Amino acid sequence: MRRFTIAPDRIASGRVVFDPAESRHLARVVRLRPGAVIVATDGAGLDYTVRLDEVGEQTVGHVLAVGSGRPESPLVVTLVQGIPKGDKMETIVRAATELGVARVVPAICERTIVRLEPSRWRERARRWQRVAKEAAKQTGRAVIPDVDLPRPLGDCLAVAAGSLALCLWEGDGRPFGDALREAPPEPGSAVVLIGPEGGLSREEVSAAAGAGWRVARMGPRILRTETAGPAVLAVLQFHFGDLGRGNPGEGNVDSPR
């Protein structure tokens, strides 16, 4: 069954009113007709089975059933990502969402090339949130990850509190495998810090270590910033989360179209 997204405040008394963007997608791209039955996820864990009553600039339907969406990973992961240049952040947000990240925190680092006014950062954050929404829909997730407003890295380090916090650095950190072996068997939550192009500065790494982050290196190869985050997330989900543990035939590789 086709899946779409719906904000919780657009569901009232069993009636569903899709926002303009999703309405246009239903009407012009997928070209559904009144009477079609779809699944609408509210981004917070619930799936609504909806029969469409009107399809157009404003698409309206009524709820047939409500249920819990696919369960999320037992490992709640936050990615603190140094903002890269160009559209690489969109690639990172998309891949991280597919890998089950719960939150993305864009960080303005010492070596971040892009420098914008606050209003422009808000615009970027809204775009990245839309990317997360679309990626969650494509992967069948019932929860849409939060994408924070970009802020200086120093203001992001506190998110490590109470979590397995890993600062990936190509410098003098311990091997990543050792950091995993020293972690609790079921950490529950993890936070990953990845620098932008050029990596994190030594001062930033020292600040992270002082805030309780474990500094680790991936191995003999230096990964690009858009590769490093998804690579670490995949390893963490395999060791502590749900990667490779789904039911047969569920959610592994997108089927050919």
> Which of 68, 89, 116 marks a domain boundary?
68
Same domain, 62 and 174: no
172 confidence band (pLDDT: 50, 70, 90) = confident
Q: Is residue 161 part of a domain?
A: yes
Among candidates 226, 244, 256, which has minimal Cα distance to 73? Answer: 244
Give tens-digit pLDDT for 48-79. Answer: 999 999 999 999 999 999 887 778 899 999 99
Q: Is residue 251 part of a domain?
A: no
Is the pLDDT score of 251 beyond 80?
Answer: no
pLDDT of residue 250: 44
Same domain, 45 and 88: no
Q: Is residue 255 part of a domain?
A: no
pLDDT of residue 51: 94
Same domain, 18 and 136: no
Same domain, 48 and 114: no
CATH of the domain at 95: 3.40.1280.10
Q: Considering its fold, how many domains does the chain have in total? A: 2
Is the pLDDT score of 149 beyond 70?
Answer: yes
How far is CA 33 from its chain centroid?
31
Q: Is residue 253 part of a domain?
A: no
Q: Number of C-alpha atoms within 13 angstroms, CB side, residue 86?
A: 6
pLDDT of residue 256: 34
The whole-number average pLDDT for the span 144-153 is 95
249 confidence band (pLDDT: 50, 70, 90) = very low
Q: Is residue 195 part of a domain?
A: yes
CATH of the domain at 9: 2.40.240.20
pLDDT of residue 247: 54
225 close to 177: Cβ distance less than 8 angstroms:
no
Same domain, 182 and 219: yes
Q: Is residue 247 part of a domain?
A: no
pTM for the whole thing?
Answer: 0.81
Is the pLDDT score of 246 beyond 80?
Answer: no
Domain hosting residue 55, numbered range: 3-68
Same domain, 59 and 150: no
Give tens-digit pLDDT for 89-99. Answer: 999 999 999 99
Is the pLDDT score of 126 beyond 70?
Answer: yes
